[in-house]
Amino acid sequence: MPAVTQTREAVEKLGQSTYKWGFETDIEMDMAPKGLNEDIIRLISSRKEEPEWMLEWRLAAYKTWQAMTEPKWAKVGYPPIDYQDAHYYAAPLKKPGPKSLDEVDPELLRTYEKLGIPLHEQAMLAGVEVPEGERMPVAVDAVFDSVSVATTFRKTLEEAGVIFCPISEAVKEHPDLVRKYLGTVVPAGDNFFSALNSAVFTDGSFVYVPKGVRCPMELSTYFRINAKNTGQFERTLIVVEEGASVSYLEGCTAPMRDENQLHAAVVELVAMDDASIKYSTVQNWYPGDEDGRGGIYNFVTKRGICRGARSKISWTQVETGSAITWKYPSCILQGEGSVGEFYSVAVTNNRQQADTGTKMIHLGRNTRSTIIAKTISAGRSDSTYRGLVRVQPKASGARNFTQCDSLLIGDQCGAHTVPYIESRNMNARIEHEATTSKISEDQLFYCRQRGLSEEDAVGLIVNGFCRDVLKELPMEFAVEAQKLLQISLEGSVG
Amino acid sequence: MSQFLEISGLCAQIDADGQEKQILRGVDLSIPPGEVHVIMGPNGSGKSTLSYVLAGREDYEVTAGTATFHGQNLLAMEPEERAAAGLFLAFQSPIELPGVNNANFLRTAVNAVRRARGLEELDAVAFLKMAREAAKALSMAPDMLKRNVNVGFSGGEKKRNEVLQMTLLQPTFAILDETDSGLDVDALRIVAEGVNRLRAPTFSALVITHHQKLLDYLVPDRIHVMARGRIILSGGPELARQIDQEGYTKFLAEVA
């Protein structure tokens, strides 16, 4: 996979502990004035040429948001955010829609090259016949700031009947589907950040896999924050019909800057009978400098609903970036025998703070959930696992297994585990295991005696610690994630 | 410079709960290339400390003396540099690395020392072929390469795994710290054969043991008796048999 190889190389070039993806692309921007009010929302809606119902939906969300207050229960601390001091819309100025990659701003393509995901290579890939036994190609819906500039692979996907497009396009071209599902898993008023997102979201992905279709390739979106002071409000909706399946990959990098940047995404997944959705994330937003200045604030609401019987939703995340992470990818297990999984690695270094975990809500009979959360703290960072397992009265035979392991590097970091367990059914079986450990001197010395450098030894031990999670990632991501883990922890030992 | 390993007046201490505890009190030892030397001695005499200090464990502070290896100042080198230079320590209690695949660990280690020695790195296929052959020679179950490093290994499996690592890393100087302890007779023979296969005019070993049994298979060149942080007596292979029959008391009394 050339694209993937280059991604890997790009990651490898990050040989030093400083964040190297701190470049900014010089492209003309079409930007809304700072501030948030109904006029701005109308502006966003009109720039996106949205139908009336979409505008109404946004305005209702905005009203809800105005009545809400920012949640303060997470174990993260940051200065107050001035929501009026940000731009809520920024789009690269474009000629009437690029018909092909040739029409895409070359500056933009160069940005992707720096990131290691050259679109032209992916376009080439689209035309390449994949021999038997080779890995499935990866489709990338590239989100550059707020507007999706180019979408590849669409043709192959169309033939399979899969819709994979920017959500703004889906609002116009598949309004019935979007209207039917948008906000059904994460209602606008679910929380402060989801309400904000619902009011001002500018782009994101829409995926629809029809009945019985196994998506012929892994779908991938690379996010990237670019414009100064522009909050990113991605909105992703994935609907998988009966007996269908999809694997979705999300990876993030962001350029360096001084101001803190707000990121409040919402992701909704819907799985019908026997459907399966695998959602994988490698998150590497700029974490701030060694003193924690300038990192991304990442407030994400991700939730999936297993509506159908025997459906399955699996979240896998590797979180190495952001100054603040507030994120709880969750599963509502409604269908009988449905399965929810959450595999997470969260790494914090320097001054990073992460409060992340999951919620498994068991509604249906014989529903099952698995939670494997690995937390690694280094430097002066603080990391919290916060998870809820709730079994409702009708969920007879429900089962959960939770394992939370924390690894501490150095003596100035913190790791916290906050499990909430609520069972309203006598037949439920819930298991929770937790460990906290440090990388031992014995282990480091053993590795070094065998010829490994100290940093390689830490990388090896940390990757071993995370193995149960990393093995859930698609192959391309797993390699990148392993490298990222090591890079994120560089300078944390010795 | 003609000497291979040269230790002179080596003193080392460890910080035990804020108290400095002197463990090595002037070790003198010289091992020529191609020889197998044995250190015996009562518990707490400093045998394992000597092996850790030679391998570069940071908990121990060297307060006096020198150690040179191939003419280089061993004590100034990082542990991984010592490994690359050809020093290998078979641990008395091998360390577990949860989640780290044994083959992957071995290959990472082998390629790290190959890189440092200016050799080409081995690809996965070439490495696995070599590792499987070496494992088979040590009568190790094939799945041991797939398991996590030392996790859930029996005592005997751990020791064999140490010898496997030694075989693959091709050291010029190996320290075996009670590699024979906890092994049954068959395992002992297999481990000893593993060491014997490495024997060459360019390979030396320092074997720490309490038992004559291992020496029946290894046939050492010199025996050293260590007590209270020093080498108090050296002799030929017959010394080990004497100790096996008479114990240390007599020798300790002689030097006291």
* Segment A282-314, tens digit of pLDDT: 887 777 777 777 788 889 999 999 999 999 999
Contact B65, B39 (CB under 8 A): no
Mutate which of A447, A456, A468, A469 to disrupt the B interface (most B C-beta within 10 Å)? Answer: A447
Neighboring chain B residues of A446 at a CB cutoff of 8 Å: 91, 94-95, 97
Question: Between chains, do B116 and A451 touch, taking CB under 8 Å as contact?
Answer: yes
Judged by CB atoms closer than 8 Å, whether chains meet at B100 and A460 is answered as yes
Q: How confident is the model at residue A157 (pLDDT cuts 50, 70, 90)?
A: confident
Q: Is residue B137 part of a domain?
A: no
Report d(CA B96, CA B147) in Å as an integer: 11
Does residue B111 form part of some domain?
no
User: Quick one: which of A343, A347, A397, A339 has its CA closest to A368?
Assistant: A339
Q: How many CB pairs under 8 A join A and B?
A: 76
Q: How far apart are CA B35 and CA A291, in angstroms?
A: 55
Copy the structure tokens of residue A292.
């924690």
Q: Do B148 and A464 touch (CB under 8 A)?
A: yes
DSSP chain B: ---SEEEEEEEEEEEETTEEEEEEEEEEEEE-TT-EEEEE--TTSSHHHHHHHHHT-TTEEEEEEEEEETTEEGGGS-HHHHHHTTEEEE-SSPPPEEEEEHHHHHHHHHHHHHHHTTPPPPPHHHHHHHHHHHHHHTT--GGGGTSEETTT--HHHHHHHHHHHHHHH--SEEEEESTTTT--HHHHHHHHHHHHHH--TT-EEEEE-S-HHHHHHH--SEEEEEETTEEEEEE-THHHHHHHHH-SHHHHHHH-
- Residue A25 — pLDDT band, cuts 50, 70, 90? low
Q: For position A154, what pLDDT does the model report?
A: 66
Q: In chain A, pLDDT over 90 holds for what percent of residues? A: 42
Q: What is the residue range of A230's domain?
A: 2-488
Residues 6+ apart with CB under 8 A from A322: A263, A283, A285, A286, A287, A295, A296, A297, A298, A352, A354
How many structural domains does chain A have? 1
Of A178, A168, A151, A156, the C-alpha closest to A89 is: A168
* DSSP summary character for residue A131: P
Q: A494 lies in a domain?
A: no
B128 domain residue, yes or no: no
Query: Does B99 reside within a domain?
Result: no
What is the C-alpha separation between A48 and A201, in angstroms, rounded?
11
Q: Considering the domain boundaries, does residue A411 fall inside one?
A: yes
CB < 8 Å to A454, chain B: 80
The most distant pair of C-alpha atoms in chain A lies apart, rounded to whole Å, by 68
The interaxial angle of helices B102-116 and B155-169, nearest 10 deg, is 30
B126 is a domain residue: no
Cβ–Cβ under 8 Å, residues B134 and B166: no
pLDDT of residue A123: 41
The pair of three-digit structure tokens given for residue B26, joined into one six-digit string: 């002037």
- Give percent of chain A with pLDDT exceeding 70: 76
Considering only CB atoms, B97 lies closest to which of A453, A461, A466, namely A461
The total number of structural domains in chain B stands at 1
Higher pLDDT, A219 or A433: A433
Q: Any idea which of A115-124, A315-324, A384-393, A428-437 has the lowest mean pLDDT?
A: A115-124
End-to-end, the C-alpha distance of chain A in Å comes to 37
Going by pLDDT thresholds of 50, 70 and 90, the confidence category of residue A146 is very low
Q: Give dist(CA A471, CA A479) in Å, integer.
A: 10
Residue A286 lies in a domain: yes
Assign A161 a pLDDT band (cuts: 50, 70, 90).
very high
**Residue A493 falls within a domain, yes or no?**
no
Mean pLDDT lowest among A101-105, A169-173, A222-226: A222-226
**Which residues have a Cβ under 8 Å from the Cβ of B166 and sit 6 or more positions away?**
B88, B90, B174, B194, B195, B198
Q: Which tens digits make up the pLDDT trace of A176-211?
A: 999 999 999 999 999 999 999 999 998 788 999 999
**For an interface test with B, which of A448, A454, A455, A485 has the most B Cβ atoms less than 10 Å from its Cβ?**
A448
| pLDDT at residue A80, as a whole number | 86
Q: Is residue A365 part of a domain?
A: yes
Which residues of chain B does A447 touch, with a Cβ-Cβ cutoff of 8 Å? 97, 105, 109
Q: What pLDDT score was predicted for residue A244? A: 97
Whether residue B230 lies inside any domain: the answer is: yes
Interface contact A449-B169, CB threshold 8 A: no
Question: What pLDDT sits at residue A103?
Answer: 58
In a domain, A383, yes or no: yes
| CA distance, residue B239 to nearest chain A CA (Å) | 31
Tell me what the mean pLDDT of segment A404-433 comes to: 91
**Dihedral (Cα; A432, A436, A441, A446), 10-degree rounding:** 20
Give the pLDDT band (50/70/90) at residue A409.
confident
Is residue A149 a part of any domain in this protein?
yes
pLDDT on residue B255: 66
Chain B residues close to A456, C-beta within 8 Å: 108, 112
CATH number of the domain bearing residue B42: 3.40.50.300
Nearest CA in chain A to B92: A446
Does the residue B209 lie in any domain? yes
Query: pLDDT tens, B177-193?
Result: 998 887 888 888 888 88
pLDDT tier, A97 (very low <50, low <70, confident <90, very high otherwise): very low
Q: Which residues of chain B have pLDDT under 50?
A: 1-2
Handedness of CA A31, A250, A405, A364 (dihedral sign): positive
Q: In this predicted complex, what is the ipTM?
A: 0.95
Q: Calculate the average pLDDT of chain A.
A: 80
A342-354, pLDDT tens digit by residue?
999 998 888 888 8
The answer to whether residue A126 sits within a structural domain is: yes
Q: Does the beta-carbon distance from A452 to B99 stay under 8 Å?
A: no
User: Which of A413, A334, A343 is closest to A367 using CA atoms?
Assistant: A334
Residues in chain A: 494
Per DSSP, the three-state class of A391 is strand
Determine the pLDDT at residue A202.
Answer: 82
